[in-house]
Amino acid sequence: MSSTNNEVKTALIDGMITPLEGEKNLLELIRKANVELPTFCYHSDISVYGACRMCMVEVDGRGIVPACSTPIAPNMIVRTNTKQIRSMRKMILELMLASHDQSCTTCPKSDECKLQKLSRKMGITKVRFKQMDSKCPIDDSSPSIIRDPSKCVLCGDCVRVCKEIQSVGALDIANRGAYAKVTPFFGQALGKVECVNCGQCVKICPVGALMPKYNINEAWDAIHDPTKKVVVQVAPAVRVALGEYFGQKPGALSTGKITAALRMIGVDKVYDTCFSADLTIIEEATEFLGRFTKKEKLPQFTSCCPAWVKFAEQNYPELLNNLSSCKSPQQMFSSLAKEKLAKDLNISREDLVIISIMPCTAKKYEASRPEFSVNGNRDTDIVLTTKELALMMKERGIEFDNIEPASFDMPFGFKTGAGVIFGASGGVGEAVLRFASAALTPDAPVTDFKQVRGPDGLKTAEINIGDAKVSVAVVSGLANARKLIEKIKAGEASYDIIEVMACCGGCVNGGGQPVPTHEPNAVAERAKGLYADDKTMLFRNSGENPYLQKLYAEEITHEKAHELFHTEYETKPKIAHDDIVLLDGQSEVKKYHIKICFGACCLPKGAQELYVGLVKYVREKDLTNDTIFTASFGGPSCRKGPVLEINGKKIDSCTLTKAKKAIDRIIQKNINA
């Protein structure tokens, strides 16, 4: 096989001449040659790790190498199926199985487990090694995700997706060799650290080490309780994905079957989250038009993604005023239902149970946020993921293919197309634009804004609405969001409205959605399904939803709308930690109580310099013995860092001069006293 410059460069894969066409690595080339190499840790959208060793191949002159991390060279001769490689692969799998908690029959991941699938594929019927029985405790501290370390195969997929796609980094590999494990900081509980609950780790985990927290039992309990009225809302992205659990193609619409199935399961009313998505648009677009006209608090960030909201609260407190104050469609639906439905049905809000079916694990966290409860009764009582609904349907014995589709209940089941496209990245942005454009140019027909559709991580557009020019950015994936925000902060980009979704491609790719196994385009197909559904709707601008028009005209005043549909955000520390004592003087009663914030927002703004300068000043003034100096790691009030508290008095944007003055005042007061 000689190749000159004019010839196409090739490699020989299992005897097949395969042209090189810019594949990233040997694994991709081998797959192009229609050989499906097994792997746990290779994913084209995150970095190459080479941990699982399943993709080992033999390359002439090089011996046995992992295909995923081997660059391609012309004229390579590669064998993927030698006796030695087969025996190695089997041994690696057996070793993994020997150190894996094999409670497969009760493992929720069983039907999707890659380890199980590969073991079958490789014909493993017996493990030659002794089973390790080191059971680690299960971490169920998070409202969204359960971590079962005994099942981890150390592929590192979760670590990389969290770090590279989401730029969160809540998990990492600690220790080494046989003691290596995936863990949050200092082995803390996942619910106590900076995890935003997006569930992308759950989706990528090949085994049952990371799972969504199931609330199926709570849902059945409510349904079987005769004293409760159970009301369900179904999010847009669920209807184009649920069918995948029953053999349908991604993107196939199963709205009618979901509705019918939920009635068979025994809920009282089935409503549509798209209805409250319309409501969100009316509130959010009105908010945007107000800010846009006054040119204040721009860019406006969307706030319907709870993972993004937590991310912003932890990383960008200075932007919290820019977030739309609108609750998400899930929470808007529930506040409205607990207010209006409970009244209409003449029952207490405690007897009205709201179950939401979401494509998302972070929605479980959102529903548990304390501000979304009234007297301890949650607005959204139970959140189920798409997968949990599929499991309930199977448990109920529903034959998906044979159920007759049914329609939603009214009035909260009526939506416009704008509410439907919420489930895809760009959908919220487009819905706002449709509403704004109708508000500014009332006679024009509803337009599509295809510029903001599609699978790209960042989509931008300049849109002329009437005389105004609106600059829009749509971003999905939190690492993409972080990049965009840093650009805006550096003055390199500027937008009027920014839609942020934590999961790449939007909610259709949420952490509670089916894991695509053989469909690389599943996410795009689901989005297409939503846009196709949008086309069939009677109305396609949220402002046209007749039931909402009626609601606003007859029942909901401006004040009530504000109370029910808007919320506030607060800065959150990345990791909950007690305050630490930096200086504790000898005196029993301290005259100077100084507390500094060392959170992720205050520290880059000069909190350390402030501390160093202030301690020096305390020593200069000989106040050491009367001083207690503590530090916290971020708190609810640091939008304007660095934040310092002296004897209970908070100083925002504190400088050394301001702090010294405050100390001087106390010295003076003490002298006077």
Partner 1 sequence: MTDQETTKFDRVCEIIDKHNRNPHMLIKILQEIQEEYKYLPEEIMMYIATALGISPAFAYGVATFYSHFTLQPKGKNIIKVCDGTACHVKKSEDIIKTLESKLGLNKDKKTTDDMLFTLETVACLGACGIAPVVVINDEVHGAMNKDKTIALIEKIKEEEKANESL
Residues known to be catalytic: 284, 287, 304, 324, 363, 366, 371, 507
586: contact with partner 1 by CB under 8 A: yes
Judged by CB under 8 A, how many residues of this single chain contact partner 1?
A: 38
Single residue of 256, 411, 516, 585 touching partner 1 by CB under 8 A: 585
Q: Does 186 bind partner 1 (CB under 8 A)?
A: yes
Per CB under 8 A, 193 contacts partner 1: yes
Q: How buried is residue 401: exposed, middle or buried, by Cβ count under 10 Å (0-12/13-18/19+)?
A: exposed
According to CB under 8 A, which one of 104, 603, 651, 666 is a site residue for partner 1? 603
Residues in the chain: 673
Segment interacting with partner 1, rule: CB under 8 A, options 82-90, 183-191, 211-219, 293-301: 183-191
One of 5, 105, 175, 402 touching partner 1 (CB under 8 A): 175
Q: Which of 169, 256, 411, 516 binds partner 1 (CB under 8 A)?
A: 169
- DSSP helix/strand/coil, 665: helix
**Rounded distance between C-alpha atoms, residue 576 and residue 596, angstroms:** 16
Question: Phi and psi (nearest 5°) for 329?
Answer: -55, -40
Helical (H) or strand (E) element with 432: helix 427-440
Q: Binding of partner 1 at residue 47 (CB under 8 A)?
A: no
Q: Using CB under 8 A, which of 91, 342, 345, 582 touches partner 1? A: 582
Q: How far is CA 252 from CA 160, 405, 414, in A?
A: 31, 14, 20
Residue 210 interacts with partner 1 (CB under 8 A): yes or no:
no
Q: Please, which residue, 297 or 639, has the CB nearer to partner 1?
A: 639
**Where does this chain touch partner 1 (CB under 8 A) — which range of 82-90, 142-150, 246-254, 569-577?**
569-577
Is residue 577 near partner 1 by the rule CB under 8 A?
Answer: yes
Q: Pick one of 584, 620, 652, 664: the residue that binds partner 1 (CB under 8 A).
A: 584
Q: How far is the CB of 177 from partner 1 (least distance, A)?
A: 10
Element (DSSP H or E) covering residue 486:
helix 478-489
| Binding of residue 405 to partner 1 (CB under 8 A) | no
CB 628 within 8 A of CB 641: no
The residue assigned the tokens 């100077």 is 592
- The answer to whether residue 615 forms part of the interface with partner 1 (CB under 8 A) is yes
- Residue 633 binds to partner 1 (criterion: CB under 8 A): yes
Closest Cα to residue 180, out of 147, 152, 201? 152
Nearer to partner 1, 178 or 553 (CB): 178
Residue from the set 31, 434, 574, 639 that interacts with partner 1 by CB under 8 A: 574
Among candidates 389, 405, 426, 421, which has minimal Cα distance to 529?
421
CA 354/CA 349 separation, integer angstroms: 10
Report the residue number, 410 or 581, with the smaller CB distance to partner 1: 581
Rounded CA separation 70/78 (Å): 11
Chosen residue from 115, 240, 551, 575 binding partner 1 by CB under 8 A: 575
The string of DSSP letters for 545-585 reads -HHHHHHHHHT--HHHHHHHHB-------SS----EEEEE-
Closest CA to 141 of 575, 590, 599: 575
Q: Is 656 in the site for partner 1 (CB under 8 A)?
A: no
What is the C-alpha separation between 255 and 42, in angstroms, rounded?
34
Cβ–Cβ < 8 Å for 641, 601: yes
Q: Is 571 in the site for partner 1 (CB under 8 A)?
A: no
| Binding segment toward partner 1, per CB under 8 A, in 46-54, 164-172, 507-515, 531-539 | 164-172
Nearer to partner 1, 132 or 444 (CB): 132
Non-local CB neighbours of 413 within 8 Å, separated by 6+ positions: 270, 271, 272, 275, 407
Tokens linked to 309: 């909201």
Q: Is 163 in the site for partner 1 (CB under 8 A)?
A: yes
Q: Is position 88 an interface residue for partner 1 (rule: CB under 8 A)?
A: no
Q: Is residue 599 part of the contact set for partner 1 (CB under 8 A)?
A: yes
Q: Does 298 bind partner 1 (CB under 8 A)?
A: no
Question: Using the rule CB under 8 A, is 580 a contact of partner 1?
Answer: yes
365 is a site residue for partner 1 (CB under 8 A): no
| Range in contact with partner 1 (rule: CB under 8 A) among 132-140, 423-431, 542-550, 572-580 | 572-580
DSSP structure string for 178-247: GG-EEESGGG--GGGSS-----HHHHH-SSTTEEEPP-HHHHHHHHH-TT-EEEEEE-GGGGGTGGGGGT
SS3 15: coil
3-state helix, strand, coil in the chain (%, to 5): 45, 15, 40
C-beta of 142: minimal distance to partner 1 in Å?
A: 14
Contacting range for partner 1; rule: CB under 8 A; set: 166-174, 371-379, 456-464, 548-556: 166-174
CB nearer partner 1, residue 166 or residue 425:
166
Instruction: Point out which residues bind partner 1 (CB under 8 A).
Output: 163, 168-176, 183-186, 193-194, 574-575, 577, 580-586, 598-600, 603-604, 608, 611-612, 615, 624, 629, 633
